[in-house]
């Protein structure tokens, strides 16, 4: 464990690929296998991290979710830790969060919502899923307050539902984060053709930009910029800001493999078998770095890697927001942010 100044600041950790749902947007449950990401392995994470997303699969299916969060916090004391859940295990989620709160760990929880009841249950392919999400919110909000987030992932199956989910977030006084369905070489693949394209996806992105520009905060401005940026991909343009995967971001899968990003199958090493510094300085990473940024063949705009780019590009994002806020409030169209 080191705190190297040039170390990564952001990561996603798949605690498990097990999942109790079979969503249209993901096939991870079919890839479930050995889980080598243990509290001991998480204790090897680099102290340079500032944001850790403990995800899955469904992380609350593990018996040691709380121990994993504590280990990550001990290794990375300056990192904000988020647990991302499908909201299907309300009692278990409450138990873990209560445990962590009583231990003094300020963890955040992000609950996925794919639309209102009919749409959410259809995307999750499990009747009653939406009711479980509401129960999870009811159980966790008294414990977490605004450290509880709703997360809406736009797909071709739910693009028309952003306004409804936004209204739910407002009614519960909860922050709402946004993502767009992608397909990955090694992580998640949609079960159907639900990657958002076309005018419905553009309309959802525009609605999200408008929603966030009604809120005055650096976080809201960043989320508005992110939503606007997805329109660039829909138009066939480059992502608004260069990607720094493999430099500022990495992905750790459930088998403890370290990837440069969660879109490409470039394994840099295995954290259960090697020390962090040996992985981050190894040849696989040196070979990966020249193929990132504008040279990357994928050109995604996933929130996992876009978040770091937005933080690093805060001057450019701030300039865009300075023009976008007046346009939105005066009834105009916020400027685009695509690169030529």
Domains defined for the chain, CATH in brackets: 10-196+242-312 (3.20.20.70)
The lowest-confidence range among 127-136, 139-148, 223-232 is: 223-232
Q: How far apart are CA 301 and CA 248, in angstroms?
A: 15
The sign one gets for the Cα dihedral 105, 188, 185, 195 is negative
Q: What is the largest CA-CA distance in the chain?
A: 57
pLDDT at 324 over 90: yes
**Residue 4: its pLDDT value, please?**
44
Q: How far apart are CA 326 and CA 256, in angstroms?
A: 46
* Residues above pLDDT 70, as percent of the chain: 99
Q: How far apart are CA 260 and CA 62, in angstroms?
A: 25
* E-state strands within 119-174: 148-154
**Residue 185: its pLDDT value, please?**
81
Q: How far apart are CA 238 and CA 28, in angstroms?
A: 28
Q: How far apart are CA 86 and CA 128, in angstroms?
A: 12
**Residue 1: its pLDDT value, please?**
36
**Residue 3: its pLDDT value, please?**
37
Residue pair 236/221 in contact (Cβ under 8 Å)? The answer is: no
Q: How far apart are CA 108 and CA 81, in angstroms?
A: 6
pLDDT at 153 over 90: yes
pLDDT digits (tens, 9 = 90+) for 181-204: 988 888 888 877 888 888 888 899
State the average pLDDT over residues 271-293. Answer: 95
Give Cα 82 distance to the centre of its chain: 9
pLDDT at 30 over 90: no
**Residue 5: its pLDDT value, please?**
52
The lowest-confidence range among 144-148, 157-161, 195-199 is: 195-199
Q: List C-alpha distances in Å: 340 to 277, 279, 294, 313.
A: 37, 35, 12, 17
Q: In angstroms, what is the C-alpha Rg of the chain?
A: 19
**Residue 294: its pLDDT value, please?**
86
pLDDT digits (tens, 9 = 90+) for 290-310: 999 888 888 899 998 999 999
pLDDT digits (tens, 9 = 90+) for 54-108: 999 999 999 999 999 999 999 999 999 999 999 999 999 999 999 999 999 999 9
Length of the chain (residues) = 340
* Residues above pLDDT 90, as percent of the chain: 76
DSSP 333: P
Q: How far apart are CA 217 and CA 206, in angstroms?
A: 19
């Amino acid at each position: 464990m080191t705190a190297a100044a040039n170390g990564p600041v952001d990561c996603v950790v798949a605690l498990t690929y097990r999942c109790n749902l079979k969503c249209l947007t993901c096939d991870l449950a079919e890839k479930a296998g050995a889980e080598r990401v243990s509290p001991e392995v998480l204790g090897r994470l680099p102290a340079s991290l500032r944001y850790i997303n403990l995800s899955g699969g469904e992380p609350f299916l593990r018996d040691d979710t709380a121990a994993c969060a504590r280990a990550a916090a001990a290794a990375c004391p300056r990192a904000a830790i988020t647990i991302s859940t499908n909201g299907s295990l309300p009692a278990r989620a409450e138990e873990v969060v209560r445990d962590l709160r009583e231990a003094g760990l300020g963890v955040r929880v992000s609950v996925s919502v794919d639309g209102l009841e009919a749409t959410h249950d259809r995307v999750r392919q499990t009747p009653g899923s939406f009711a479980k999400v509401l129960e999870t919110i009811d159980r966790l909000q008294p414990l977490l307050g605004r450290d509880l987030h709703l997360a809406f992932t736009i797909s071709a199956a739910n693009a028309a539902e952003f306004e409804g989910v936004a209204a739910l977030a407002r009614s519960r006084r909860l922050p709402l984060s946004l993502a767009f369905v992608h397909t990955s070489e090694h992580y998640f693949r949609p079960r159907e053709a639900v990657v958002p394209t076309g005018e419905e996806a553009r309309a959802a992105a525009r609605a999200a930009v408008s929603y966030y520009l009604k809120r005055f905060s650096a976080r809201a401005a960043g989320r508005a910029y992110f939503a606007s940026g997805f329109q660039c991909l829909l138009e066939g343009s480059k992502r608004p800001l260069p990607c720094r995967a493999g430099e500022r971001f990495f992905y750790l899968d459930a088998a403890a493999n370290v990837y440069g990003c969660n879109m490409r199958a470039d394994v840099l090493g295995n954290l259960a078998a090697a020390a962090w510094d040996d992985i981050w300085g190894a040849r696989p990473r040196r070979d990966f770095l020249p193929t990132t940024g504008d040279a990357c063949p994928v050109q995604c705009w996933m929130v996992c890697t876009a978040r770091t780019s937005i933080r690093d590009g805060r001057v450019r994002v701030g300039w865009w927001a300075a023009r976008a806020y007046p346009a939105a409030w005066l009834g105009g169209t916020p400027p685009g942010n695509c690169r030529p």
